[in-house]
Amino acid sequence: MTTGGTTETTPRVTMEEITALAKRRGFIFQSSEIYGGIGGFFDYGPLGAILKRNVKDAWWRETVELRDDVVGFDSSIIMHPQTWVASGHVAAFHDKLVDCKNCKHRFRADHLPSLDKCPDCGMSNTFTEPRNFNLMMKTSIGPMEDSANAAYLRPETAQGIFVNFKNVYQSARKRPPFGIAQIGKSFRNEITPGNFTFRVREFEQAELEYFVPDDGNDIAVYEQWVTARKQWYSDYGVRPERLRFYELTPQERPHYAKAGTDVEYLFPWGWGELESIAHRGTYDLDAHMKLSGKDLRYFDEASKTHYTPILIESSAGMDRTTLTMLIDAYETETIIDGEGKESKRVVLRFHPKIAPVQIGVFPLARNKPELVERAKRIERSLRPFFRTQYDEGNVGQLYRRQDEIGTPACVMVDFETATDGAVTVRDRDTMRQDRIAEDKLAGYMSDKLGLP
Ligand code: GAP
């Protein structure tokens, strides 16, 4: 069953517009661009780094800090190679790969509409037999590059949590139901990275592993997490009509999973997965206990019994969520000025908590030292409480730039400020301008932006 979703069929923004804006305004750049780039890797510019951090902070705040049943965690990227044997990644973390013998292009077999004809060169019957390609990235530890020193860059953060389950519950004095959360880098040697930062080879995951006793409440807890995650996207401004929750059928789920939901967003190229939420039974802890020979069961003091808790997992991609915020916020508007002149503006309608800059502050004229000084002073006074930016120049261009980077409010210091002690506050979405006393500005902004 799918809940959410939309009837919208024409995306309002193209990926070309998003990548152009991302580069122009310093959100996202191709990695190693001066050397021609490297496929599947991206860098976050000054605004992109803040945007992504805000997305991660929003996840961490709601998943860890505002709950008393979830603790934070941060495990190493490289783990003992046996970890990936136990998890099943060595044996089964494969995609099927085919090569076109004519144009030599390489594809993921499940991404091709048909194996009869190459979509790049148009030749028929030129594909090799599909073969398994393991997606884990290899490295080696120490000075000798032999197989004994081989290791993997983790393809998911979750396993660091599983192998530490006992360390965490004992040191944090937690008993199920409780969760362990971490945000960190993961690596997958994707055969065909693409769609900008959607499918990349280095990315960040935010994973919550929630352990519950086998007391018949497991499905209810799973459903609570689906609801909580739905709420999270809505609270941070992702439009519900572009989000859907697809419930996996038993055939689509791994054999050990009792339930699973994919959170999907309507990207310009179609629906794409942002997050998977899964009821994974006791599979992961059982697998590590079996291979390591170590007991990871929870010891319940009250009943003096050991048991393996059931796991509910929520695993969200932070790069995909950041890209979603960028695409979802993007709008082009036609505006008509006081003289009836039409122009277009691009505006990113970020939620104030997600916006990289929350308040832009400018003087009306950059050649008037008294306005410049006052604007700088106001920006400095707001800085401890908000993400602010001082800028100066042509007023129209200043607003245009702040609209394009999604700043919810701008403050203009003008010639009247010296006499009435007030500034003009311009709202990004309505473009309405209000006159606010300088000494009331911080309180006014807190209310306006919905920030504490
Ligand atoms: N521990 C469960 C797990 O890793 P997954 O569905 O393979 O589940 C979870 O990955 C999320 O990680 C995905 O929904 C996606 O947002 C993100 N993700 C996975 N592969 C990715 C890639 N190549 N590029 C960017 N994000 C990726």
Query: pLDDT of 94-148, one tens digit each?
Result: 999 999 999 999 999 998 999 999 999 999 999 999 999 999 999 999 887 777 7
The confidence score (pLDDT) of residue 338 equals: 82
Q: Which atom of ligand 1 is nearest to the CA of 200?
A: 24
Distance 264 CA to ligand 1 centre (A): 12
The confidence score (pLDDT) of residue 7 equals: 45
Residue with CA closest to ligand 1 atom 21: 199
Residue with CA closest to ligand 1 atom 18: 317
Which of 265, 320, 323, when mutated, tests ligand 1's pocket best, judged by the most ligand atoms within 8 Å of its CB? 320
Whether 174 lines ligand 1, by a CB cut-off of 6 Å, is: no
Distance 296 CA to ligand 1 centre (A): 26
Distance 275 CA to ligand 1 centre (A): 7
Residue with CA closest to ligand 1 atom 12: 317
Q: Which atom of ligand 1 is nearest to the CA of 158?
A: 1
Whether 379 lines ligand 1, by a CB cut-off of 6 Å, is: no
CA–CA gap between residue 399 and residue 345 (Å, rounded): 10
Distance 409 CA to ligand 1 centre (A): 34
Q: At what angle do helices 46-60 and 318-329 cross, to 10 degrees?
A: 110
Residue with CA closest to ligand 1 atom 20: 199
In three-state form (DSSP H/G/I as H, E/B as E, the rest C), the secondary structure along 324-385 is HHHHHHEEEEEEECCCCCEEEEEEECCCCCCCCCCEEEEECCCCCHHHHHHHHHHHHHHCCC
Residue with CA closest to ligand 1 atom 2: 315
Whether 156 lines ligand 1, by a CB cut-off of 6 Å, is: yes
The confidence score (pLDDT) of residue 121 equals: 95
Which residue stretches of the chain have pLDDT < 50? 7, 9
CA distances from 175 to 20, 158, 373 (A): 49, 19, 57
Q: Which atom of ligand 1 is nearest to the CA of 199?
A: 24
The confidence score (pLDDT) of residue 375 equals: 98
Amino acid making up residue 199 = R
Amino acid making up residue 234 = S
The confidence score (pLDDT) of residue 337 equals: 82
Q: Which residue has the tokens 């979750």?
A: 158
Query: pLDDT of 440-449, one tens digit each?
Result: 999 999 999 9
Q: Are 317 and 274 in contact (CB under 8 A)?
A: yes
Whether 189 lines ligand 1, by a CB cut-off of 6 Å, is: no
